[in-house]
Structure formats: C-alpha cells, structure tokens
Structure 1
C-alpha cells in the first residue's frame, strides 16, 4: 500500500522534499523548520535529531511531543483530499504538514500559516 510505504519512509527524505519545495518557491529551510516544530512540538534540536536518526515518518510523528492545539484549524485540500476528512490518524498528521508546506509555497505569511491571524 502507498500509505505503508510513506509511513515507513525515513522522515529525512520527506523533510528534504519539503525544503526543496520551499526553496523552489523562494522560501527557506528555516520556515520549513518553524512549521514542523509548530505542528509537532519538537524544538529545533529535537527535529534535527529525528532527521539525523533517519526515523520513519511513523516514528517521527509517534515521538512528537504534542500536536499544536490549533492543528484542527488546518483545513483544505491537499492532493485532492480534504485534510480534515482523512480517517487514518497518522495520514491526517502527514496531510496537516503537507497543507502547511503548501501554504508556505503559495506565499502565505508565517503568521497566517501558524494560525496566528
């Protein structure tokens, strides 16, 4: 299954995709790090540690300190699927992150992305 392959993929690989997408859209790695830390509760050191350990996407989210309390405000469509309607809890977390990175790539400001507006 596609989801099993994604869940078992090293988070570092997904992270590189997010950073490359941001860079192509004239954003930066720091913005990606801020978004990931905001959503997952990792601090920058913890995020870098998870990337260096090559943990799977599933382990990355399993070890995450806590989803941000405002994560339920992340709504919309990613890859043709409504984020808030994804039934698998892990896939929903991945889609939340995908949606935030999409918003970054589309030029939204960091306060908008981090639900501070």
Structure 2
C-alpha cells in the first residue's frame, strides 16, 4: 500500500493555511491553536516546538501528549470523504484537524467545535 505524501509533510507547512483560512473568516490564530491543543494535548510550547522542528503529520500525531478521546465525536465530510469512515489512523487524525478548522472558519462556536468540553 502506498503511503500518502501528506503523512511526511511538515505540519508547519500546512499550519499557515489553517490560520489564514480562519483569519479570512474573522477567526484567530489563537483559536486554531486552541483546536490543535484540544485535539492533541500539546501545550503552547509543545506545539511551537513541533512547528519549529518541521515535524511530519505522522510524527506530530504519534508524539501527541494526549489525543482527545472526544475526537471520535467529530463527524462530517472533508474533501467529500466522511471523516468517521476513514480507516487509516493518521489520515483520520489529519482529517479531524481539517474538519475542526473548517468548522471554525464557518463560524461555529468554540464550545461546539471542541465537542462541549
């Protein structure tokens, strides 16, 4: 099975696009960071270190301090694919993050994005 190239891509190479998508819709970088912290358990310093190190998506999720168990409540489509049906674990985590940033950009309240936590 061929590994998807996004697994090896640096989170830092995509992060500015997450922030730009949010800011274009009146949301903030701080909110993007809050989403990432909620999903992965990284604190601000840990997230900054991962971005500075150019960590790949695969390693970013593998090294995450505490993946949020409530992430399984994330449902819906990203790029025409239902996130809850993605079987490959790393791709599912990437799509969870994509979905959360999409919800932020669409104006959804943070309490709902973070699944009530």
TM-score surpassing 0.5?
Answer: yes
Q: Using the alignment, how far apart are the partners of 2:97 and 2:68 within structure 1?
A: 12
Q: TM-score, normalising length from structure 2?
A: 0.95
Matched, 1:111 2:104: no
For structure 1, the 5+ residue unaligned runs are: none
Shift of 1:71: 0.6
Shift of 1:84: 0.3
For structure 2, the 5+ residue unaligned runs are: none
- How many residues align? The count is 117
Q: Using the alignment, how far apart are the partners of 1:35 and 1:55 within structure 2?
A: 18
Q: Using the alignment, how far apart are the partners of 1:101 and 1:7 within structure 2?
A: 18
Q: Using the alignment, how far apart are the partners of 2:75 and 2:55 within structure 1?
A: 27
Matched, 1:75 2:75: yes
Q: Secondary structure at the match of 1:65?
A: coil
Shift of 1:4: 2.6
Aligned Cα root-mean-square deviation (Å): 1.6
Q: TM-score, normalising length from structure 1?
A: 0.95
